[in-house]
Structure 1
Amino acid sequence: MSDLDLLASFLEIYRRGSLTAAAAALGVSQPAVSGQLARLEEQMDTVLFERSRRGALPTARAHDLARRVAAPLDQLRGALAQDADGQAHRGTVRLGAAGELTASRLIPALAPLAGGGLRLDITLGLAEDLLTALADGELDLVVSSVRPPSGRRGLAAVPFVDEEFVLVATPTTARSVDQDWLAEDPLAALAHLPIVAYSRELPIVRRYWRSEFGRRPPNPVSVIVPDLRAVLAAVVAGAGISVLPRYLADPALAAGSLELLHHTQIQPLNTLYLVTRSGPAPAPVALVQRQLHRQAETWGPL
């Protein structure tokens, strides 16, 4: 571990405000970043951050160190990234993700890399199937809606972006719900409305109901279709209600073809992960990871 590595980790913590966020940006584990910070503080014989519930708060020494090292480190990393990216653009990345996210966010984010020479071989599917393919060496990188279980060794996951979920219906359906009853007992007030679901297990809908209403939905199910874009189309057509990521529902909400059926102070979130096989990532895979992390910083919760 070089002094430059220690300083690079320090600068990520300083800029991002937490060890966890720095680890995600660097593509390493949080304990690894914590160990690097401890070694740097030992070398300098000082405390650089005060740990609190609000994250890692820089000390006066940290502010001084950041002022001295930020510009030189950024220049060095920029020069190295240009050389590495030139090599990486000549490679291939086998990416696995859900079709809806791929079409709406991943393709636009990665198109500049493909235009620069990188080849993308994309597989669409469910998270569990894609993680199995990754572990078997059939994929290089998976955008997963679930963190790989601890029993599945050989995979490394870092948080990527949060999805925000909303319960939606057509305006006609929304007006059919008694608002006083909805405020008093939402589970009962909504129980007569049919649900459009992504799968028979109702994973997204079930999570919303348990988070907001305390139990799984008692509602009848009208349509099951394994594509959230088709779920959206079915809800807009009046087949029932459903829970969708806000990034998919927003255009229909803005157009007035859908309405929020239930309002919460804090919308339920689900974290998406970038998952690779353990160990150093090949240059093309690292290039895609960096590009996706940069784009995610501009998105906010989806």
Structure 2
Amino acid sequence: MDLTLLRTFVTVHRAGSLTRAAALLGLSQPAVTSQIQALERQLGRPLFLRTARGVTATTVGDELAHKVAPHLDALTEITEAGLDADSVTRTVHLAGPPEFTAERALPALTPLIAQGLSIRAAFGPAEELLSGLAAGHHDLTVTTVRPRGGLLTSTPLCDEEHVLVAAARWVARLGGPAVLQASGVRALDPVPLVEVHESLPLITRYWSAVFDAKPASSAAVIAADLRAVLGCVAAGAGLAVLPRYLCAEALDSGEIVALLDPPVPPLRTYFLAARTGTLGLPHIARTHEWLLRAAARW
């Protein structure tokens, strides 16, 4: 049986879409369709059912994928690992949110550079980066969205605590932490909001978890990087919800103040995602393991 047909079949099975599989394989969709049809003719059985959202494997398709996928992954591992061993520099393409990647992931990986690792970092929103990972543009992606399906695998990396912060002068103007604690969310209405996006993702999540409410106003400042949000808050522009790791130093120095100390602070989980089968490659596996070990201290 033609290994090319089997490789295309496994890619379609994992992607759940002829279009996505074509992008991953660098082929046209008609070429992928033709290869699947050729394999179905050889086997005399349908392997996929076409649906409005893509394709779903038949029982025969699932059974074939279960049998052949591990062997194809092993062949890929042998081939790519061999090529990697001949390379002077091994490169890992890492993607993730800019703040977390810059402040945590990249510094944690710097010891691997002395061991011959080369790193290429890319930043962007979660859905875009996961699509890039699936398409082969990245090797590992740090994401707050857990990928689904068989094409990508993910491991919980760490949790980040979210903190409601503002410059100290706002706390004094509002009457101090005790007043804020007693008055609840409405006491915060006079304070301008600073966020990374017009949809107020961090503030909305915090308001829902802590106050069981929605923000009453739109943001006064939108800055697409949390480090810029921190700078605006420290300068007195308003309040924001920030990850504790990012603002811990500013909190310790008194540059900003935590407005509330809820019994259960809101958390967000980060995942470390890879394409299925690629963790058999030594340089990717090493980077993956190193990040997981570093995250245990975060």
TM, length-normalised to structure 1: 0.67
Q: Any gaps of 5 or more consecutive residues in structure 2?
A: 1-81
1:126 paired to 2:150: no
State the Cα distance separating 1:182 from its structure 2 match: 2.4
State the Cα distance separating 1:185 from its structure 2 match: 3.6
Amino acid at match of 1:109: A
State the Cα distance separating 1:126 from its structure 2 match: 1.5
Q: Which residues of 2 match residues 268-287 of structure 1 at below 5 A?
A: 268-281=266-279, 282-287=281-286
Distance 1:174 1:220 in 2: 20
Show CA shifts across 1:141-189 (max 9, x none): 10002212x3x55111110011111000000001122355523341111
Q: Alignment identity in percent?
A: 39
Show CA shifts across 1:45-87 (max 9, x none): xxxxxxxxxxxxxxxxxxxxxxxxxxxxxxxxxxxxxxx9x95
Partner residue in 2 for 1:256: 254
1:161 paired to 2:158: yes
Amino acid at match of 1:104: E
Q: Which has the larger Rg?
A: 2
User: 1:193·1:219 contact (CA, 8 Å) conserved in 2?
Assistant: no
Partner residue in 2 for 1:176: 173
Partner residue in 2 for 1:56: none
1:293 paired to 2:292: yes
**Once structures 1 and 2 are overlaid, which stretch shifts more, 206-215 or 274-283?**
274-283
TM, length-normalised to structure 2: 0.68
Amino acid at match of 2:192: P
Partner residue in 1 for 2:46: none
Q: Any gaps of 5 or more consecutive residues in structure 1?
A: 1-83
User: 2:196·2:224 contact (CA, 8 Å) conserved in 1?
Assistant: yes
User: 1:192·1:219 contact (CA, 8 Å) conserved in 2?
Assistant: no
The count of corresponding residues between Structure 1 and Structure 2 is 214
RMSD: 2.1
Distance 2:268 2:185 in 1: 22
**Once structures 1 and 2 are overlaid, which stretch shifts more, 86-95 or 283-292?**
86-95
Show CA shifts across 1:222-252 (max 9, x none): 1101100000001011111000000111111
Say which SS state the counterpart of residue 298 (structure 1) adopts.
Answer: coil
Show CA shifts across 1:170-220 (max 9, x none): 000011223555233411111221110011111111101100010221134
1:242 paired to 2:240: yes
Show CA shifts across 1:257-294 (max 9, x none): 10001111222111100001122412111110110111
